[in-house]
């Protein structure tokens, strides 16, 4: 390649991302400045939280500015370097953005982690990257799930949810997923070993939770918010914990949707609902990656990845997260 | 007196309590059975949570059954006893219910705590009772408020809120109240020493919070829920804590009102929202009562009580909690 294609945020989405939200531009392949390295990007990570980054409002990261490269996790290989920490040939991952070549280190403002030789980049971006690490700290630190407890995971067939539930099984929890469609539910139970999975598209999530968790929910790992959070609140055990990881059901609403009617259950059931952002756990990423790696090597965790081909597919592929078309972690292969 | 008047729950309220919700009956003054004592009730405690007890749905205590004496905290004096722990003449408090004479101990199913000789029964029922203790554990254990932090308290002129804010001041917090009406706000600031108080009846609570807490809220002690919780969510600092003590704004709704639109802030701001019921802290009541007593003796906490006269006033007086007519703790004097 002789040029660096980059996808910019051109317009803020009102509801779902549309074609006009993005613009593809070509730039020269960058040269590394002092202390910098240039990474050829090979995979983009697509994550629900990216919809929030496109909003013009303060959040845990500043909004992506119009005209800037779309922010996103990615992994690739160093092709030029003025930084001994990023040797040519090394694989790295970080918030490299939607571009074919990214500058890291030095004054670039972009940090990337070097990956072990021979690691699968897709595994790195999913299981050992923010997806797996989110599941890890969500279940263990925020949810404090323990052996014998009932863990319910929404978005169970998604990247984070599918790993969160498997971690629950490793801990000795009874794990009940909530996912959209029979096929996803079957995968979650038959392949990942969840004890049960509720198809929310059949309706009646409350009754299904009552049946699947007759003694109530100890830990609810919430990726979706909305009506499913509402149903979970009604079925929590006293002193249960709600891991507020994401609320994807509301991400594409032009206006903030109403909150759960059962929120008063937080008082009467003495619940703890706690939000977290995986970035806060940065100093502990190695701990999580190591443990997840060992579990994967022992065959205790499966990592399913939905790969979409071609850099230019990213703008449409990201909506698959919101329509539920992906199963497992969604990535784009450049 | 020769008879024991008792107020029964006759009909469940749909919205506010109405006259037809209660029925007054007369019964003989009870005689104590083995291990029992009879208490002549002198003060009833009126608390927002009692509205929940009248609902026919599972909660942290079973619903009061139709035809049963209305459940309620109360304090009085032992007038007959077959239990050396409850000597005649001793003052006690507990869930004695809406009746002039209550049986405690033995097989009565009612526990009561004996109070120190000479203690003011109204102080016992408010500051050293569940009201003060709720404020104590809410601020310290659930909210973990610390010196230099900003504590916002809604229902600031109510029983729990007025004490919660004063505890915040003792800890060295900047304390901002939210109350209904200029007079309550003035009392909270001028008499109780809050740093500021927002009159929610003026509207614009969000803007007022922004002005009163320009760097955001560390701990929000919520007694009201609804729109004020929604506004607080938007003004929390990252890693802030929400003490979910009560949500009185919704207690008289026939249908559960929608939850806060800003609930997603729990994720992006990494908030911890935690509910609690003071009963769970029963083994630690002595700790709280002792500390509150010392603070009161040192003049650091003021305990204002709104006393309504006459047993039969209880059914109408309880609605003052919901219309905001009381300032400080609301009790009925028999």
**pLDDT tens-digit profile of A106-163?**
999 998 999 998 899 999 999 999 999 999 999 999 999 999 999 999 999 999 999 9
With a cut of 80, say whether residue B318 has pLDDT above it: yes
- Name which of A58, A264, A276, A277 to mutate to probe chain B: the one with the most chain B Cβ atoms within 10 A of its Cβ: A264
SS3 A9: strand
pLDDT value of residue B2: 77
Q: How many residues does chain B have?
A: 334
For residue A246, give the nearest of B267, B272, B277 by CB distance.
B267
Q: Identify each DSSP E strand in chain A by its residue range.
A: 3-9, 22-28, 36-46, 74-81, 91-94, 101-105, 112-114, 150-154, 174-179, 196-199, 217-222, 236-244, 272-275, 305-309, 329-333
Residue B197: strand, helix, or coil: strand
Residue pair A70/A9 in contact (Cβ under 8 Å)? The answer is: yes
The mean pLDDT value for B87-108 works out to: 96
B254 interface with A at CB cutoff 8 Å: no
| CA B61 – CA A211 distance, rounded (Å) | 23
pLDDT digits (tens, 9 = 90+) for B156-175: 999 999 999 999 999 999 99
CB contact under 8 A, A275 and B269: yes
B263 in contact with chain A, both atoms CB, cutoff 8 A: yes
Mean pLDDT across the stretch A157-185? 98
Please say if the pLDDT value at position B107 is more than 80.
yes
pLDDT of residue A2: 78
Cβ pairs A/B, distance under 8 A: 105
Q: What is the pLDDT of residue A118?
A: 87
B141 close to A (CB below 8 A): no
Contact A60 B238 (CB under 8 A): yes
All residues of chain B having their beta carbon less than 8 Å from the beta carbon of residue A255 are: 261
Q: Is the pLDDT confidence value at B118 over 90?
A: no
- Chain B CB contacts of A244 under 8 Å are 266-267
What integer pLDDT is reported at residue A1 of this predicted model? 61
| Minimum distance, in Å, between the CA of residue B132 and any CA atom of chain A | 18
Average pLDDT in the A79-87 region?
Answer: 97
Which one, of B120, B4, B12, lies nearest residue B66 by Cα?
B12
Question: Looking at chain B, which residue has its C-alpha nearest residue A256?
Answer: B261
Rounded to the nearest angstrom, the minimum Cα separation between B239 and chain A is 9
Q: How far apart are CA B314 and CA B332, in angstroms?
A: 6
Instruction: Please give the average per-residue pLDDT across B318-328, as a whole number.
Output: 95
Shortest Cα–Cα distance, B272 to chain A (Å)? 4
pLDDT digits (tens, 9 = 90+) for A211-234: 999 999 999 999 999 999 999 999
> CA angle at residue B289 from B283 to B290, to 5 degrees?
105
Structure confidence at residue B1 (pLDDT): 61
Burial class (CB within 10 angstroms; exposed 0-12, middle 13-18, buried 19+) of A5: middle
> Which residues, 6 or more positions from B204, have their beta carbon under 8 angstroms from its beta carbon?
none
A280: nearest CA in chain B?
A: B270
Phi then psi for A219, rounded to 5 degrees? -130, 125
Q: How many CA atoms lie within 13 A of B281 on its CB side?
A: 24
Q: Do A261 and B257 touch (CB under 8 A)?
A: yes
The tokens describing B214, both together, are: 């320009």
- Average pLDDT of chain B to the nearest whole number: 96
For residue B207, pLDDT over 70 is answered with: yes
Q: pLDDT band at residue B111, thresholds of 50, 70 and 90?
A: confident
B295 pLDDT band, cuts 50/70/90, is very high
Question: Tokens for A306?
Answer: 């939905």
Q: What is the pLDDT of residues A288-319, one digit of tens each?
A: 999 999 999 999 999 999 999 999 999 999 99
Set out the domains of chain A in order of their start, with CATH numbers. Answer: 3-126+303-333 (3.90.180.10), 130-279 (3.40.50.720)
Question: CB distance from B132 to chain A under 8 Å?
Answer: no
**Looking at residue B171, what is its pLDDT?**
98
Q: Distance of CA A259 to CAs A229, B87, B244, Å? A: 9, 52, 15
CA distances from B271 to A136, A203, A223, A243 (A): 19, 30, 16, 11
Cβ of B261 and A260 within 8 Å?
Answer: no
Report yes or no: A56 at the B interface, CB cutoff 8 Å. no
* Residue from B54, B242, B266, B269 whose CB has the most chain A CBs within 10 Å, to mutate: B266
Hey, is the C-beta of A60 within 8 angstroms of any chain B C-beta?
yes
Of residues B261, B266, B271, nearest to A257 (C-beta):
B261
CA distance B254 to B256: 7
Cβ contact B176:B197 at 8 Å: yes
B42 confidence band (pLDDT: 50, 70, 90)? very high
């Amino acid at each position: 390649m002789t040029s660096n294609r980059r996808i910019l945020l051109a317009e803020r989405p009102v509801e779902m991302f549309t074609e006009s939200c993005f613009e593809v531009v070509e730039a020269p392949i960058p040269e590394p400045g002092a202390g910098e390295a240039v990474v050829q990007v090979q995979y983009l990570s697509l994550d629900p939280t990216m919809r929030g980054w496109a909003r013009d409002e303060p959040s845990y990261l500043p909004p992506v500015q119009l005209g800037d490269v779309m922010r996103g996790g990615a992994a690739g290989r160093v092709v030029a370097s003025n930084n001994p920490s990023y040797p040519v040939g090394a694989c790295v991952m970080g918030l490299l953005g939607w571009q074919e070549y990214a500058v890291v280190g030095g004054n670039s403002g972009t940090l990337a982690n070097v990956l072990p030789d021979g690691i699968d980049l897709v595994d790195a971006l999913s299981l050992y990257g923010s997806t797996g690490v989110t599941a890890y700290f969500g279940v263990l630190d925020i949810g404090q799930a323990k052996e014998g407890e009932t863990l319910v995971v929404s978005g169970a067939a998604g990247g984070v949810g599918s790993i969160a539930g498997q971690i629950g099984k490793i801990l000795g929890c009874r794990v009940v997923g909530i996912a959209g469609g029979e096929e996803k539910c079957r995968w979650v139970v038959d392949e990942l070993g969840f004890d049960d999975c509720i198809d929310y598209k059949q309706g009646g999530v409350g009754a299904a939770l009552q049946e699947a968790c007759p003694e109530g929910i100890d830990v609810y790992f919430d990726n979706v918010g909305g009506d499913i959070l509402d149903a979970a609140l009604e079925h929590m055990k006293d002193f249960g914990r709600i891991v507020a990881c994401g609320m994807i059901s509301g991400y594409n609403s032009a206006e903030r949707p109403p909150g759960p009617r059962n929120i008063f259950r937080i008082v009467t059931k003495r619940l703890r609902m706690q939000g977290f952002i995986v970035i806060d756990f940065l100093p502990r990423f190695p701990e999580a990656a190591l443990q997840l790696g060992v579990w994967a090597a022992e065959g205790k965790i499966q990592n399913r990845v939905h790969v979409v081909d071609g850099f230019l597919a990213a703008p449409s592929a990201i909506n698959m997260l919101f329509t539920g078309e992906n199963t497992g972690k969604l990535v784009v292969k450049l």
